[in-house]
Chains A and B, each alone.
Chain A
């Protein structure tokens, strides 16, 4: 008796629903087993991981604050991913967005202007797009791999940021430590309530999700890009230009990442230091795929990733677990989610009795 893997003629509609549920169920079982094996009460652990972070207004505020940049960037990246344009360098585009926005915030001649925040928004978006335009140009003109160029430009952006905060932008009153001065009050997003950190930048993410949904599901251009991704030759035959897909795909990701960088600088950070992003640009790639490159899915995936992160901290604070264990658990969930997806497109079949 043998088994083979074969592609389903049609993606399975049943598995589409069953896969994520099964993945979460398997994660809970494996996670509970893992915690029990290490001598912790699995129920208390899962409660601390998934329930406790959502139990207070502050927890919800933190969840949104963490999920917002992930969802925003993932929406931008998904536009490109749908057309097989692989922008792996959102992290670098985010950093450039944060740099440009902070530059405007620190050096705009009138720090009390209500125009400051909108200008920072535009600067952040433009910088993210400019950083993404480099791989777009190289790919469209010279067929250079955008995967490599976007990734390597991330290192360039990191070093540029490091140079700025160690050198020309260093806070003159900061004892020579590598960080800029704090942004003036008008350069910061106002929080909804002083007691919580979540701020008005979540509206930007909400708008981005709607725009992304309209573009991918309701516009002809979005349809053309999806065709270009699924069947490049057919797309060319139909007269869809590949370079348009490359430019739109990369610029959408760059704009979203740049704005996310601006929102970090003008939100929870309030200044630049050598590290502005906890890897949002890379985590957003996972969010985009766990969310199946679809606006609604990305929102759920972004919230889930943030919850995993916050839950990991909660078990450290409330139950004293080592951070390594919480990361293992996070990895288990992502593994099952992506592995379960496999069964939407493939099935395992028993073949024959011979052999």
Chain B
């Protein structure tokens, strides 16, 4: 038999009143941090794509402190494994889960409908669901400015480009680099090579050396390494960095880098989930929003040219200049964008052709 003394009764009553007054859920909310997960296809790194996404997580931590608990899972490349990891994170109570590679898309699309109360954010994704949003950068805006810098500095007018994979997110910026260079030097050309790997410094070094021996005097690598910048620097050739500022690999010869800054995307998503206003969005930002940025220009670029580059950056940000404004022909001379027109957003995201002046194949 349970006897309740008057004293106990009062005590429980007081606790009950306290809960009633402050509201039970808010007590829980204060006690339990918001759990956030991030899944990366590649290993953690000091520079490049993985680093920029790690900075996104750092920004969330800086903003929310101990109100969030973050779990980062690296090196999940295979879709079979990714699906399990996303499920596991969602079942473990993570309310916001980032996937940072295109290859994680299909697994996220399969997992998201099973966890309708979890917000999924897919970087470089193309499919949207009620609880699966995407964010992506307009790389080509930064690439165009960097290409213009190459146009000013290249004596040979020949750029070498090393791409990870021949996917639109890489082919598009490659085109933009050459278009930017041609805006300064109409005769500029570009040789492209694809590694079919994001991280293969040995193969990348060979590719960079081959491009240099073909007479290219500016090299850009869209991979997860600083190899192209380093090799070009050793050979006394200019270079353009990608993803992070890669100047430390060749301080003398690093012209600039088109960098990604995802911090606004990360913080926005976390804020949305924290206060219950998160919605599945399709965010695609560039220079204007600061998601794409340019690293400081090399001091050897003449002041006059630097001023023009800064102006170009501002004009692209404001929409006055569009990197893919016509007329643009492809490698085979076919007109892809007629004069006076612009490449549509959909076509930009599906680029699978190279502009006139490119040598190389998408393979």
Contact = CB atoms under 8 A, between A and B. Distances in A.
A269 interface: yes
A268 B79 contact: yes
B80 interface: yes
A330 interface: no
A162 B85 CA distance: 25
Interface stretch (B173-181, B277-285, B345-353): B345-353
A174 interface: yes
B311 interface: no
A320 interface: yes
Interface in B301-350: 349-350
Nearest to B89: A317
Contacts of A162: 196
A320 B71 contact: yes
A176 B350 contact: yes
A323 interface: yes
B325 to A, nearest CB: 22
B196 A316 contact: no
Contacts of B91: 58
Contact of B79 (A62, A195, A269, A313): A269
Contact of B167 (A177, A313, A316, A323): A177
Interface string A283-319: 0000000000000000000000000001001101110
Interface stretch (A34-42, A83-91, A232-240, A270-278): A270-278
B83 interface: yes
A181 to B, nearest CB: 11
What's the interface size class on A, roughly?
35 or more
Contact of A316 (B73, B78, B79, B110): B73
B80 A269 contact: yes
A158 B362 CA distance: 17
B73 A313 contact: yes
B82 to A, nearest CB: 10
B87 interface: yes
Size class of the B contact interface (CB-based, 8 Å): 35 or more
Nearest to B352: A176
A36 to B, nearest CB: 23
B165 interface: yes
Contacts of A66: 80
A180 to B, nearest CB: 11
Contacts of B349: 175
A177 B87 contact: no
Nearest to B44: A322
A166 interface: yes
B147 to A, nearest CB: 22
B79 A175 contact: no
A317 B85 contact: yes
B168 A175 contact: yes
A278 B78 contact: yes
Which of B43, B88, B363 counts the most A-chain CB atoms under 10 A from its CB? B88
Contacts of B43: 323
B359 interface: no
B103 A273 contact: yes
A270 B84 CA distance: 15
B46 interface: no
Given A166-B166, A175-B350, A270 B85 contact: no
A200 interface: no
Contacts of A139: none
B126 A174 contact: yes
Contacts of B21: none
B264 interface: no
B102 interface: yes
Interface string B64-103: 0000000111110111110111011101100000000011
B214 interface: no
Interface in A303-355: 310, 313-314, 316-318, 320, 322-323
Nearest to B166: A166
A176 B168 contact: yes
Contact of A278 (B80, B110, B350): B80
B269 to A, nearest CB: 20
Contacts of B85: 313, 317
A111 interface: no
9 contacts: A179-B106, A269-B79, A275-B78, A278-B78, A278-B81, A310-B84, A313-B81, A317-B85, A317-B88
Interface of B: 43-44, 71-75, 77-81, 83-85, 87-89, 91-92, 102-103, 106, 110, 114, 126, 165-168, 196, 349-352, 362-363
4 closest Cβ pairs, A-B complex: A278-B78, A176-B352, A268-B80, A175-B350
